[in-house]
Amino acid sequence: MIVTHAQDIKDLNEPFRRLFDISHERFSDSLMNRIDVHFHPDLPIRTRSTFDKASLEQWQSHTVHGIRAFKQDHLLSRYDAWYQKVIDRAQTYNVLDMYGDAPDAAEAIEPVQTILARRPGTGELVPIRYKQMSISGNSRMHPQIQVFLPVDAAARQVFEELGCPADCRFG
C-alpha cells in the first residue's frame, strides 16, 4: 500500500486487499486511512490480529509503538490542521484514549506481526506471521510504500497463493 504523511492510503495492490480482506468497494467508498485499516469495525484486521492472548498483546504493543512513532515523526506538525485531522480520526475509534498514554515497554518491539489469513484456495483461516517494512522512493519520508513479507512457512504459502513470490523471506 502507498501511504502519505497523514496516514492516508492512496492505493493498495490486489494481494494486500485479499490478504486483509479489504474489498474494492470499501477502499473506493471513501478515502481510507491506516487508522481505519487497523480499527474500523467493518474490517476484519483487528479481530483477526487479536484472536488469542498472545496475538492481542502483540497487536496492542504494535499499536502503542505506531502511535508513538507517528507522534515522534511529526512532533513539529502537531499544531497543523492535517495532524489534528489524523488525531481526530484516531479519536473516532478511541485509539488515543485506549493506547495513547500506555507505559513504555521495557524491551524493543518485535517487528513480526500475526494475523489469521484466509487461504485463497480453501477459504480456511490460518495464523501467519509477517513483517511490515516501509520504503520511501526519495529523500523524503513520505509517501511510503508499505511492504508485507512472510516470516513463516504458513505465511509463505498464503503469500504464494495470493500471487506473491514464495521465496521472499524475512531473514
The overall pTM is greater than 0.85: no
- Integer Cα distance of 63 and 143 in angstroms: 21
User: Which residues are registered as beta bridge partners of 116?
Assistant: 127
The whole-number average pLDDT for the span 132-152 is 85
Residue showing cell 475509534: 93
Domain-located, residue 48: yes
pLDDT of residue 23: 81
DSSP H or E stretch at residue 90: helix 81-92
C-alpha dihedral over 22, 27, 33, 39, to 10 degrees? Answer: -40
Number of domains in the chain: 1
The residue segments making up the domain with residue 156 are 2-161
Q: Is the dihedral of CA 158, 164, 166, 168 positive or negative?
A: negative
The string of pLDDT tens digits covering residues 5-24 is 999 998 888 888 889 988 87
CATH code of the domain covering residue 62? 3.30.450
